[in-house]
Structures are given as C-alpha cells and as structure tokens.
C-alpha cells in the first residue's frame, strides 16, 4: 500500500503545483489585459487632447486632459510594476532598463542596483515563439561571467564591456 500512498501524495502535490502555476498565469494575463485597456484609454485621451487643443488652445479642459493622462500613466506604471514583480524582474534605478532581481549591475548603463532581500521566485521556462536567434555570448574580462553581446556593462561586477 505504500506505493499507492506515495502515488496519491505525489499526485496531490503535482496537482497543487499545477493549480498555483495556472493561477499565476491567469494573474499575469489579467495584468497584461488591464495594461492594454489603460493604454487604449491613454491613446484616446491623447487624441481628444490634440483635437481640443487644435480647436481652441485656450480651452480650460486641456488641463483636465493632462491630469487624466497623468493619472492613467500612473495606473499603467502600477500594473507594470506588479507584472515585473510577478515575473521576478526589477527596473534599473538609473536608466529604467528591466533586469532580473538578482542582478547587481545594469547591463545597459552599468549603474549599481540593490539586490532585494527576499529571494526571487523561480521564473517559468520561456515559451519559444519562433526560431529567434539568441545573442552571442561573451565573457567579462574582469570576473569572467558570461554576458551577451548587447550588454554594455557586466551584470555581475559592473565592468564596462568593450565593443
């Protein structure tokens, strides 16, 4: 009976794991949908603002459009931050580039970024969309970490990489 007990436990654990991954995928999809809806609102606001300004540059409603645009941008930024958090990413404090949470130096500008105290959740395997060619890898001359061709700075030690 131990075999069946172990099998039952294994199936229960696997079922919970699959359920959690499905919930996470649904949450990510919902965030992406919310971002898309807000971006649509933003485009509409820009069109309305341009039309109002064209028709009457002194119109008092122009400031209201600007306030609405700012509010929508803040909502989008909040959704994008939550999405990055769920994906285990962070934003460079200097240039705004997106990077993995555990990276210490930005690969675009070389700025040092703090590593969060909590460990990053395991990232899901990326889904291959097409036969996209991965960038060639090179090695940092100082710490010998593997870096991709498009990086200007090493993510491990912050050394400027030669072109």
Q: Name the residue among 87, 96, 99 with its Cα closest to residue 148.
A: 99
Contacts of 62 (CB under 8 A, 6+ apart): 49, 52, 53
> How do residues 45-56 score in pLDDT, each as one tens digit?
999 999 999 998
Q: What is the dihedral of CA 60, 61, 62, 68, to 10 degrees?
A: 140
Q: Is 23 helix (H, G, I), strand (E, B) or coil?
A: helix
Beta carbons of 92 and 113 less than 8 angstroms apart: yes
> How do residues 80-138 score in pLDDT, each as one tens digit?
888 888 888 888 888 888 888 888 888 888 888 876 555 555 555 555 544 445 555 68
What's the token pair of residue 87? 């994906």
Three-point CA angle 86, 104, 154, nearest 5°: 115
pTM: predicted TM-score of the whole model, two decimal places? 0.55
């Amino acid at each position: 009976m131990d075999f069946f007990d172990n099998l039952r436990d294994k199936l229960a654990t696997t079922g919970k794991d699959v359920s959690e991954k499905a919930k996470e995928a649904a949450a990510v999809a919902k965030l992406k949908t919310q971002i898309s809806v807000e971006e649509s609102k933003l485009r509409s606001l820009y069109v309305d603002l341009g039309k109002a300004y064209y028709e009457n540059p002194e119109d008092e409603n122009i400031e209201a459009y600007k306030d609405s645009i700012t509010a929508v941008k803040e909502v989008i930024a909040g959704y994008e931050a939550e999405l990055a958090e769920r994906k285990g990413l962070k934003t460079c404090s200097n240039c705004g580039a997106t990077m993995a949470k555990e990276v210490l130096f930005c690969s675009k500008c070389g700025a040092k970024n703090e590593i969060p105290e909590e460990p990053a959740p395991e990232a899901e395997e990326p889904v291959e969309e097409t036969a996209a060619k991965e960038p060639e890898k090179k090695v940092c001359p100082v710490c010998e970490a593997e870096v991709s061709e498009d990086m200007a700075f090493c993510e491990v030690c912050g050394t400027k990489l030669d072109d």
